[in-house]
Amino acid sequence: MHAYLHEHLDMNKDYSRAIPEAWQHMSRVFTALGDEHRQRILLTFERGERLNVSQIVAVSTLSRPAVSHHLKILREAGVLASEKLGKEVFFWVNKPFLAETFDNTRAYLEEHL
Amino acid sequence: MHAYLHEHLDMNKDYSRAIPEAWQHMSRVFTALGDEHRQRILLTFERGERLNVSQIVAVSTLSRPAVSHHLKILREAGVLASEKLGKEVFFWVNKPFLAETFDNTRAYLEEHL
DNA sequence: ACTACATGTCGAAATGTCTCGACATGTAGT
DNA sequence: ACTACATGTCGAGACATTTCGACATGTAGT
């Protein structure tokens, strides 16, 4: 379990008890992408593409409220970003955030697990 | 949406429609790690540590059957590996698989999204 | 074979998440 | 102000997951 005795001589001795920040972000990303509908929504986007809600609904098998629900979860997790332009709301992949989150998780894996 | 016209001149033109294999794996990993209890189980492990079920139950707030359920999901997703030794079943983090899965996802993000 | 221990499985209740119609909000043009 | 359109939200039913007690299996020692 948690030994509270580490070979590294840094100051963060109780680091093992707290869930690191990279995992806090990753937690929501995992939850957001754990659903197949939301994965399909994410994979709908091409490089740098911006899509409005109607376009996403068009390629989805779900109703508009259901898509809206999933988009909200993806946005709140930081996976997608959005901007309102006139009547429409455009969504796009928050690539920098995803890249950073995956990198942090990858680094944590290498370091601690 | 999916343009079916790519700038890369490779053979996989219908790649955009199929969910890539890296995502197939990631899908289960995301589902497995989308749950906070399962995240805590994963983070219980120290570097290279092996824990039996009783030890994991001891640090968890859940009952043994519940922990067993989560361990099954983590094992089937490939996050944890297990081995029976006598009466006990030991679990450990499947680090190579996780590393590969994260790397693949990271690469896919950089390439396609 | 019997006991003690470790773990897995089953099933039903509790809990959580998803879904869609109906309604609300907000924007642009006439 | 009115109409048309795009999107968000609410709530109740449908659906999926989680949870734990009770039981089953399997292993080691006496």
Reported as a single tens digit per residue, the pLDDT across A39-57 is 999 999 999 999 999 999 9
pLDDT given for residue B113 in this prediction? 87
**Beta carbons of A44 and B2 less than 8 Å apart:** yes
Q: How many CB atoms lie within 10 A of CB B17?
A: 9
Residue A10 placed within a domain: no
Report chain A's C-alpha Rg in angstroms.
18
pLDDT given for residue A10 in this prediction? 38
What are the two backbone dihedrals, phi and then psi, of residue B31, each rounded to the nearest 5 degrees? -60, -45
How far is the CA of A43 from the CAs of A93, B35, B40, in angstroms?
A: 9, 22, 29
Residue A77 placed within a domain: yes
Lowest mean pLDDT among A29-33, A108-112, B22-26, B30-34: B22-26
**Tens of pLDDT along B59-73?**
999 999 999 999 999
pLDDT given for residue A11 in this prediction? 40
**Tens of pLDDT along B5-40?**
333 333 433 333 456 666 777 888 999 999 999 999
Q: What is the CATH number of the domain that holds B28?
A: 1.10.10.10
Alpha-carbon gap, residue B98 to B104, rounded angstroms: 10
Query: Average pLDDT in the B49-58 region?
Result: 98
Residue B3 placed within a domain: no
Alpha-carbon gap, residue B22 to B108, rounded angstroms: 8
pLDDT given for residue A3 in this prediction? 43
Which single residue has its CA nearest the C1' atom of nucleotide D19? B66
Strand boundaries in chain B, DSSP class E: 51-52, 80-85, 88-93
Residue A6 placed within a domain: no
Residue A30 placed within a domain: yes
Domain interval for residue B102: 19-112
pLDDT given for residue A26 in this prediction? 85
Name the minimum distance, in Å, from the CA of A42 to any CA of chain B: 9
| A80-85 vs A88-93, strand pairing mode | antiparallel
Beta-sheet strand order (sheet of B80-85): B51-52, B88-93, B80-85
Name the minimum distance, in Å, from the CA of A37 to any CA of chain B: 11
Beta-sheet strand order (sheet of A88-93): A51-52, A88-93, A80-85
| CA-wise closest residue to B58 among B49, B50, B67 | B67
pLDDT given for residue B24 in this prediction? 79
Residue B75 placed within a domain: yes
Does B56 have pLDDT greater than 90? yes
**Beta carbons of A39 and B23 less than 8 Å apart:** yes
Pick out the nucleotide with least CA–C1' distance to A68: D8
Alpha-carbon gap, residue A42 to A85, rounded angstroms: 21
Cβ-based contacts of B80 with chain A (< 8 Å): none
pLDDT given for residue B53 in this prediction? 98
What residue spans of A3-94 are helical by DSSP H? 21-33, 36-44, 53-59, 64-76
| CA-wise closest residue to B56 among A27, A2, A4, A1 | A1
pLDDT given for residue A72 in this prediction? 98
For testing the chain B interface, which of A2, A33, A59, A60 should be mutated: the one with the most B CBs within 10 Å? Answer: A33
What residue type is A103 in one-letter code?
D
pLDDT given for residue B27 in this prediction? 87
Alpha-carbon gap, residue A45 to A51, rounded angstroms: 8
pLDDT given for residue A18 in this prediction? 56
Count: domains in chain A: 1
Does A6 have pLDDT greater than 80? no
Q: Residue A13 CA to nucleotide D20 C1', Å?
A: 35
* Inter-chain contacts counted by CB atoms under 8 A, chains A and B: 95
Residue A104 placed within a domain: yes
Name the minimum distance, in Å, from the CA of A16 to any CA of chain B: 8
Residue B7 placed within a domain: no
The rounded mean pLDDT for chain B is: 85
Which residue of chain A is at minimal alpha-carbon distance from B54? A1
Query: Average pLDDT in the A74-95 region?
Result: 97
